[in-house]
Amino acid sequence: MKYITFYLSFALCALLLIPNTTGAEKTDLLSDQQTEKLLKGFPEEVSERKKTSLTFPYPDAVRGIYVSGSAAGNSNRFNQLIQFVNQTDLNAMVIDFKEDSGKLVYKPTKASSLANAGSNKVKSIPAMLKKLEKAGIYPIARIVVFKDSHLAQQKPEWTFRNGEKVWKNERNEAFINPFVKDVWDYNVAAAIEAAQLGFQEVQFDYVRFPEGFEKKGANLSYSKGDYGKLNISEGQRRVKAVSDFVKYAKEKLKPYHVKVSVDIFGYAATLEEAPGIGQNFTEISKNVDVISSMIYPSHWGPYFGIKKPDLEPYRLVDAYMKVEKQKLTSLRNPPISRPWIQDFTAVYLGKGNYQPYGKKQVEAQIDALYANGVKEFLLWNAGCKYTSNVNYKPAESKKR
C-alpha cells in the first residue's frame, strides 16, 4: 500500500476527471443466503455474533501506528511497540490481518473457507488482543482486499489474466477482480472473522483496481459480471464496483458492531473521481465510519503548487486537508477523517527531492492536521520503526 511512489501531474489528473453518470442501472448485491453459503465452512461463532470479554473503549481520538504481521507475531518486538505506544500519546494499532500477499497472519480453523490462506506469523490472535486490552490500545484489523496474489493463484477465474496466465504488475503482484462478487464475500468473511476475534475496527486497504488499469485492462481477460450490462463508461463501471463493495461490506458487518474504515489515495479527494483505479472519495466516504487518506508527502508529485512535497510536509498536509474538508462537509453524515501520515525517509525519490524524516517532519504533518481541525491520524512505517520523542498531541498548532 504505502510504498507506491505515485507521481501525478495536474495534466494526468485532468485525464482522470470523468463526469458521474447518474442514470446508471442499479446493480443488485449478493443476498444474505448467498453470503451464508460462502460462510458455511466457518465455525458456528463466525455466523452469529459472539460476545467476547475484551473491552476497548474508543479513544478520545485515534492516534495509531501500523504493525505488520511479522512484528505482531514476534513477542519481543510486539512488546516493544506496546511500550512505545504507552510511553506516548498514541493509543491505537493498525495490525495486519490479511496481508498484501493475501495471506492471513494466523491459522484459521480447518473448517474455515479461509483456511488455505492461513500462516503462522501470529500464534494466537486472542492472546495478542488480550495484551492490547491490558495496555489500553485500540486494535484495528487491516485487510488488504483486491491485491491478493494468493487468491489469484487459487482462483484464476476471479482475477485478471494475460492469456492463460494470471496477470501481475511490475512488482510481481496479482490483483483480484472487483467486478466478481464472490471476491466481495471472501473479504467480508475475513472481516467477520476479525470482528469475532475481538478487533474493534476493520480497515479495508487496496480497495481499488491496479494502478493504471485504464491502460492495461483492454489487454487482459476478466469478467465484468453484472457491471458489464450497465450502459456507462468503463471508468464508471470500475468506480461503481468499488463503491458498491464498500457499501456492501459496511452493511454485512453491521451485526458485528465494528467500525469500518477504508484507505484511499489522497489524490482521489482532489478529483471528482479517479476512474482508472475506481475510487470516488465522496461515494466511498458515504459508507464508512472512518476515511483514511494516504497523504504521505513523498507520494505526491508537484501538487498544490508545491514542487517537492517531501521537503514541505506541513504545507502539503495543510493544502490537502483544506480540499478534503470541503468534500466531507458536503456529506450529510461525514465519516471521521483519520489520515495516514509519513514516518519514513523516502530515499527512493533521489537527492534533492527528499529529506530525512524525524521528529520535526512528523510533527509538521500533525500540526497541519490540528490546524485543520483533524485530531485523528495513523503513522506508516513499513518496518514499524517509529520516531522517538514526537509530540503527538500538540497543545496548539504551530505556524510554518
Q: Indicate the domain borders of the chain.
A: 10-19+42-380
pLDDT of residue 53: 80
**Measured distance CA(312)–CA(323) in Å, rounded:** 17
Region 10-19+42-380: CATH code: 3.20.20.80
Q: How far apart, in Å, are the Cα atoms of 314 and each of 117, 229, 367?
A: 41, 46, 7
CA distance 296 to 282: 20
Rounded to an integer, what distance in angstroms lies between the CA atom of residue 362 and that of residue 288? Answer: 27
Encode the chain (400 residues) as per-residue pLDDT tens digits.
Answer: 444 444 343 333 333 333 333 333 333 344 444 444 444 443 333 433 355 689 999 999 999 999 999 999 999 999 999 999 999 999 999 999 999 999 999 999 988 889 999 999 999 999 999 999 999 999 999 999 999 999 999 999 999 999 989 999 999 999 999 999 999 999 999 999 999 999 999 999 999 999 999 999 999 999 999 999 999 999 999 999 999 999 999 999 999 999 999 999 999 999 999 999 999 999 999 999 999 999 999 999 999 999 999 999 999 999 999 999 999 999 999 999 999 999 999 999 999 999 999 999 999 999 999 999 999 999 999 999 999 999 998 755 444 4
pTM: 0.87
**What residue type is 238 in one-letter code?**
R
pLDDT of residue 65: 98
